[in-house]
Amino acid sequence: MLGSGERSSARVLFTGDRPNGPMHLGHYVGSIRNRLACQGQGEQYIMIADHLALTDNIDDPGSIARNVVEVGLDYLATGIDPRLSTPFIQSTVLELAALTTLYMNLVSASYILENPTKNEEVSRRGFGDDAPAGMFTYSVSQVADITAFDADSVPVGTDQVPLVEFSAHLVRAFNERFGPVIVVPRAVVPPMGRLPGTDGRPKMGKSLGNAIYLSDAPDTVREKILGMATRLTGTPDGEFDPAVSPPFLYLREFHPDSAEVDALEERYRSGVLSDDALRRAVLDAVETFLGPVRDRRRAYADDPAQVMAMLHEGGDRARAKAAATYDRVKAAMGLRYP
Ligand code: TRP
């Protein structure tokens, strides 16, 4: 039995992605890059959260299924290695839904309703009073996702920390009641980047229409970057500040040589480098990164069966672990039948 105080020394990391669409550069700097850095440092589960994606896609569940393959391709194209990580599809591990049911009565509905991450999401998606019940219960299903794998570390952005704290709270409530059988997860906020959209809004997003996708063709990337905003929305006109300059934020993430970026900064500040020349430097840097990603993606895209095989093999490994946790949790609760 693995107690909450006696963590196994090897870290178990858990992260998830909603298959709302293909992944973009913002996902790369905000999450995928950290996963690549963590590969080989312990177990790493990477879940494509198709059940979760239903919360805001119930009008078109088929689009979620199609995007699962795209996300799987994005994983392989960026270097997620199924020998070092376990990528899988949420709905193929039924034990996650079963664990959710067991956990559902350990927190009050009002505790769910007061979670700031959750409330921000409900208002951002513009549901008003019509938010589907799944928008609220998924806080509990996330606890199942994380704990099924004995994950002790959940890398997230700062905005998601309250949801991981929600998980830790529920796990402690369980362990106090039924004994120390579930690992208490902890949010880790790795140093990760956040890329503004090509329109200068601070966040890149599919629904914002300002994203550069890992799967974009060279012409598309070119068009997006050569039209990129040189100022972050909402920042006042005035002295050039590289910290809030979209082109420089991209260069800092993707240019292989930071001394060169320093030099570009100086030339831009003094007016020697034009906006257009700056955007071309961004294009070069982004293409240096995207070129090999695109090549790997193309190699796998011709063989979607290979992508699905990877996700199903991951699903088999994930299911084995989740089933063991589910049995342990049920037994601790005394749900045993002769
Ligand atoms: N919350 C993530 C998203 O909205 C995906 C996700 C599902 C997740 N279950 C999780 C993240 C558990 C961390 C832990 O995209």
Asked if residue 49 has its Cβ within 6 Å of ligand 1, the reply is yes
Asked if residue 140 has its Cβ within 6 Å of ligand 1, the reply is no
**pLDDT of the chain along its 338 residues, tens only?**
444 444 445 599 999 999 999 999 999 999 999 999 999 999 999 999 999 999 989 999 999 999 999 999 999 999 999 999 999 999 999 999 999 999 999 999 999 988 888 888 888 888 888 889 999 999 999 999 999 999 999 999 888 999 999 999 999 999 999 999 999 999 999 887 789 999 999 999 988 999 999 999 999 999 999 999 999 998 887 788 998 999 999 999 999 999 999 999 999 999 999 999 999 999 999 999 999 999 999 999 889 999 999 999 999 999 999 999 999 999 999 999 88
pLDDT at 2: 41
Find the 90 Cα to ligand 1 centroid distance in Å. Answer: 11
What pTM was estimated for this model as a whole?
A: 0.93
Residue nearest to atom 11 of ligand 1 (CA): 16
pLDDT at 9: 56
Asked if residue 93 has its Cβ within 6 Å of ligand 1, the reply is no
Asked if residue 153 has its Cβ within 6 Å of ligand 1, the reply is no
Probe ligand 1: pick from 17, 45, 143, max atoms within 8 Å of CB?
A: 17
**SS3 labels along the chain:** CCCCCCCCCCEEEEEEECCCCCCEHHHHHHHHHHHHHHCCCEEEEEEECHHHHHHHCCCCHHHHHHHHHHHHHHHHHHCCCCCCCEEEEHHHCHHHHHHHHHHCCCCCHHHHHCCHHHHHHHHHCCCHHHCCCHHHHHHHHHHHHHHCCCCCEEECCHHHHHHHHHHHHHHHHHHHHHCCCCCCCEEECCCCCCCCCCCCCCCCCCCCCCCCECCCCHHHHHHHHHCCCCCCCCCCCCCCCHHHCHHHHHHHHHCCCHHHHHHHHHHHHCCCCCHHHHHHHHHHHHHHHHHHHHHHHHHHHCCHHHHHHHHHHHHHHHHHHHHHHHHHHHHHHCCCCC
pLDDT at 49: 98
pLDDT at 10: 59
pLDDT at 125: 83
pLDDT in tens, 159-214: 899 999 999 999 999 999 999 999 999 999 988 778 999 999 999 998 899 999 99
Find the 155 Cα to ligand 1 centroid distance in Å. Answer: 10
Probe ligand 1: pick from 50, 91, 160, 171, max atoms within 8 Å of CB?
A: 160
Probe ligand 1: pick from 13, 15, 96, 121, max atoms within 8 Å of CB?
A: 15
pLDDT at 143: 98
pLDDT at 193: 76
